[in-house]
Structure 1
């Protein structure tokens, strides 16, 4: 088994290296001139069955590849080209062309964009999309490109994040004494403080075992992720706190974008933006199906009477007292645009 594992990993690394050495350099002319066919590598961390893959990334590739515009989008799921942090570094270096990233990860490079992942910043996906398409959202995208060398093409809905635990979490006080797993990033750990949770950083791959062994008492994720990773097997309650409107940003290396012709840029932008509603529909359909299964089986107690107002007020008080500079200005703009 060790030899097989080593051989598999070696092949994977060699395969990724070959892609980065060939696919990403197959660019012909620049601007509106045309030239040889362009191959764009589109990386992500999702399994092939995830809604982002089924109804997002694959849809973009099929759309663009079906047009006679001299562009082929090649997709690489399951972190084949590296984990989130290393992929964005590769993208800004020009080794990867396109990627799907959460704003909390991108905030390590450009802090203001992390506001998009802050607890109760948005009231739901409609609010998220309206803000993203507003002049303030456009300014954020422009500033992000100027600072990072990467362009945000659009935002996709990831699902509302909820708590799971072995007890109901209806109000902030219910988090007392509970060790809740949050992703180990600055924005998520700030969310834990804002909500009054005792955050415990555990690698995503170790969450199931940590819940099973009691290393942590609970975790937070969208419904499809909770089901996909079988966290419902080791947690008795899922509390619909909706404390974060999960989103993912579709980014492309700016130099690569500028080398595309006007027709190619228009087609790629349209494909990414057209996938937004289909992607959301897939996410929400999966959520409804999973909640229905849990109700039918009685395997999980779904707590739907969470006092979201209490959580939201606590989070807003925390962030208005802790944020400053561009992050504070953007946070205020997001909240002002609600409802």
Structure 2
């Protein structure tokens, strides 16, 4: 298979090659040599290195692969270094990027039914998401995704529930009326906005702080760890704990999977499984620390008496009425796994 690395990867690999050339040639001249070439796996994501998705996810995967010593290494490119979500998933399909940690809505660009994983109130919590991915409906969805897009899903985790922030409390759907709320530019997120009763404005995540500071938008929704990562507590007065969406992350791999031997495939699968176990706990610890800090400080007030059931019932009715047959089947499979 011919692979064409992302320009950033080409530049970095060229530098590494030049730096390593002299000692390698010297070793060759002396008759030395290794046991074979090591497979270099590129792993990309959009999170900062301080966030649990990196610390307890991507880094755990890379470390576990290194410890296994199976002739394989994982190089991480964080903070959207290899492009935004839409760019990276295209790069996985083309083979320019090997592994991506991606939200379900981003994956919907290559297989639309997967985006339903990001539907408002589809999942009750992180445990529900974990149960679903052990179910038969999830297996069928992931197999169909692989067949359609040529991308294998190695694992999935919740990186926290998404909540509203604004300069006023949001306790019920009526509180969203008249507010310009930022939502990501994806069909499922925009459908969620309608379902929740929000007036959606599309703003790139990288531009969100400035948009809130300048009043282009008045509020937004994100997991707690993302709110902290881009310092939204500096430009928002309230975080309302609506828990309206599980922030799903799927670990997906492209055609390089077929280049790995059985041992390497097992090592990589086990490494991802370890990260899947660790990320939710890391997220929860970070969330607790942040909420305690906000509750005791002056920057952002925590609203913990949101009428979640009012939002949930409104969203469920709207989504069931507006999903197509294939989307509705995925949604119902998720809801059936709730306890």
What's 1:121 paired with? 122
What SS does the aligned partner of 2:68 have? coil
Q: Is the 8 A contact 1:42 1:75 kept in 2?
A: yes
What's 1:332 paired with? 332
Shift of 1:21: 8.0
Q: Is the 8 A contact 1:175 1:198 kept in 2?
A: yes
What's 2:306 paired with? 306
- Between the aligned partners of 1:49 and 1:97, the Cα distance in structure 2 is 22
What's 1:55 paired with? 56
Residue deviations 1:71-111 (CA, integer Å, cap 9, x gap): 11111112222221111111111111111110001111101
What's 1:210 paired with? 211
What's 2:21 paired with? none
- Between the aligned partners of 2:139 and 2:8, the Cα distance in structure 1 is 37
Q: Is the 8 A contact 1:16 1:80 kept in 2?
A: no
What's 1:247 paired with? 248
- Structure 1 residue runs of 5 or longer lacking an equivalent are 1-12, 24-33
Q: Is the 8 A contact 1:159 1:245 kept in 2?
A: yes
Residue deviations 1:231-269 (CA, integer Å, cap 9, x gap): 11111111000000111100001x311221111111110
Number of corresponding residues: 316
Shift of 1:17: 2.6
- Between the aligned partners of 1:327 and 1:207, the Cα distance in structure 2 is 29
What's 2:134 paired with? 133
Computed over aligned residues only, the root mean square deviation of the Cα atoms, in angstroms, reads 1.7
What's 2:91 paired with? 90
After alignment, is 184-193 or 36-45 more displaced? 36-45
Residue deviations 1:207-243 (CA, integer Å, cap 9, x gap): 2122122221111011111122111111111100000
What SS does the aligned partner of 1:66 have? helix
What's 1:40 paired with? 41
Q: Is the 8 A contact 1:20 1:96 kept in 2?
A: no
Off by >3 Å, runs of 4+ in structure 1? 18-23
Residue deviations 1:127-180 (CA, integer Å, cap 9, x gap): 101011111111111111100011010002211100001111111011111111
- Between the aligned partners of 1:178 and 1:15, the Cα distance in structure 2 is 40
What's 1:235 paired with? 236
Shift of 1:304: 0.4
What's 1:259 paired with? 259
TM-score by length of 2: 0.89
Residue deviations 1:159-202 (CA, integer Å, cap 9, x gap): 11000011111110111111111111111101000000000111
2:11 is the alignment partner of 1:18: yes
Q: Is the 8 A contact 1:20 1:95 kept in 2?
A: no
Q: Is the 8 A contact 2:196 2:311 kept in 1?
A: yes
- Between the aligned partners of 2:259 and 2:15, the Cα distance in structure 1 is 17
Q: Is the 8 A contact 1:45 1:80 kept in 2?
A: yes
- Between the aligned partners of 1:335 and 1:112, the Cα distance in structure 2 is 15
- Between the aligned partners of 2:228 and 2:64, the Cα distance in structure 1 is 29
